[in-house]
Structure 1
Amino acid sequence: MKLVTFNPFRTIGIPGVQYVKPDNMFKDIDKIREADFLLFPEKWMVNSLVYGLHKEVFPSIQTIQLGFDKVEMTRALWSVASDHVPQTEIAGKSRESIQKILELFPFPFVAKEIRNSMGNGVFLIKSKEEFIAYAERNDVLYIQEYLPIDRDLRICYVGDSVLSAYWRIGEDNFHNNVARGGKIAFHNIPQEALKLVEDTASLLGINHAGFDVVFANDRFYFLEFNSLFGNQALIQQKLSVEKVIYEYLLRQHTPKFPTTPVFGGSKIS
């Protein structure tokens, strides 16, 4: 199995991987053509690799494209798990959309930048003035209802199953991300949440993502998922994401046979 990676830090320990710098994609195109799988391409590369060169990429093209921004992610989740998405409004910046949001959402509510992660670009809006300030900075308004929670679940899905799940408990009851100081707890993980992630990932064709799930109003909700998630908790559990990726690729790999098979030394015509 021939593997090319565009992100060597995400593939440390996977045997037989060649590194191609993303900027050298077309310079090293012969290496890319010969590979069975292309690992961790950047978003701008994916259409050329999949539709132009007809190559297999990991994470899947669905994972990369849907995980690129919260708008596409949310629309995909609406399509397969609408009951598990908080009330959300996505709109262009205009007086009409600003007024509509102020009428729909009581304070406080959550406003997000559509391309951000690790808790960055997520704001708890407590007044009209705060919302106007957010709207002035963003051409796309992404608004969600505020869910009163003190923790969330990070559920790591790799290949075709959940690899790990853990609670992230924040100090301010709003940002629970480990990158923002959230504490990790591995106990009392609800199986219903794991099943929700497994079913949703399978339906969407996602094979490498950290799903953020919360429990509120007697149900589980998706907040978002990240196709490139942190591994601090996985290291604590002594779990190897790279090993799971490699075993998954082996299961997906279909060896390429010669056009004219040879059996017992004689050609079959």
Structure 2
Amino acid sequence: MIYIVKKPTDTPSDNSTGMVADELKRRNVDFSYLDLETINPFSKDLEGNLIWICGIKQDELQFEIINSLSINNKVVNSPDAIAICASKVQTTAKLIKNGVKTPETIFTASKRLVSDFLEKHGTVVYKPVYGFDGNGIYPFENISELKENPPYYIQEYVKNDRDFRVFVIDKKAVGAIERVSDSFAHNIHQGGLGRALSKIPPEMAETASAAAKAIGIDYCGVDLLFKNDSYTVLEVNGTPNWHCMSAPVPKLLADYLIETEKSI
């Protein structure tokens, strides 16, 4: 049986869960929705199933429930992978360990180390560890501009006028968009405009796939910048949307869920 956990941020005009559910319906595949707020994860009825986490609230209850469910079920994406992607610190650590290109980064409670890092790079970028949709991210050139309390997750600034989102399923890049804006952040939720790429450049696909492998995730959205004639990974999204993509992502995700459920 396939169970689906709806994405909390779904809206009638942007319904990621519904798009994939519609694909399952077209194939006459049985599935049921799972409300993490109202279930008992220890129930014998919830064993030996595929549970697709389209999205969750970042709170203790839901993380604990999906972790419990993963013991006797196949959970996509796994709780570990979702947790890694939710933390920019853990994502960076995984990328570095596995040799995936990513901007130079520090994570520290020391303003002195931030000052040293700033002196080295001239311009750096502050990011909230658990931020999303580009919220709270800003560049700065002087330590006096850093207003947040520690700890600090700080990256080198990579000069750019666009970024890229690559959708990866089962370690294979299946679609990509280019995002452009007049502001620092190109995220669509920050006003960026997305344009589907008709073809994914081989190095872009390889870098995105390598990032997915480093995290150990079933599917994801990998955000990249172009730097020094190659691609560098900014972050990996474990519950991604697929705005503006020409690739049939809902169909591809439905295919993946069906095949994965058969293997349980």
TM range (shorter): 0.7 to 0.9
Cα separation, 2, equivalents of 1:49 and 1:17: 17
Q: Does 1:127 align with 2:142?
A: yes
The one-letter code of the counterpart of 2:99 is: A
Which residue matches 2:258? 250
Deviations 1:25-71 (A, max 9, x none): 207834422x52011074332321123xx210011334312112111
Is the 2:41–2:69 contact (alpha carbons within 8 Å) kept by the matching residues of 1?
A: no
Change (3 A) 1:140 1:191: same
Cα separation, 2, equivalents of 1:130 and 1:156: 34
Change (3 A) 1:175 1:255: closer
User: Which runs of no fewer than 5 residues in structure 2 stay unpaired?
Assistant: 8-14, 57-62
Which residue matches 1:267? none
Residues 1-269 of structure 1 aligned to structure 2 (within 5 Å): 2-7=1-6, 10=17, 11-13=20-22, 14=24, 15-26=29-40, 29-33=43-47, 35-40=48-53, 42=56, 43-51=63-71, 54-82=72-100, 84-91=101-108, 93=109, 97-106=110-119, 107-131=122-146, 133-134=147-148, 136=149, 139-172=150-183, 174-187=184-197, 189-234=200-245, 237=246, 239-241=248-250, 243-254=251-262
Change (3 A) 1:238 1:104: closer
Is the 2:211–2:233 contact (alpha carbons within 8 Å) kept by the matching residues of 1?
A: no
Work out which structure has the larger RCO, using CA pairs closer than 8 Å and 6 or more positions apart in sequence. 2
Cα separation, 2, equivalents of 1:189 and 1:254: 30
Is the 2:175–2:200 contact (alpha carbons within 8 Å) kept by the matching residues of 1?
A: no
The DSSP-based 3-state class of the residue aligned with 1:23 is: coil
Cα separation, 1, equivalents of 2:196 and 2:244: 9
Identity of aligned residues (%): 22
Is the 1:6–1:39 contact (alpha carbons within 8 Å) kept by the matching residues of 2?
A: yes
Q: TM-score, normalised by structure 2?
A: 0.82
Change (3 A) 1:46 1:253: same
Give the aligned length.
Answer: 239
The DSSP-based 3-state class of the residue aligned with 1:110 is: strand
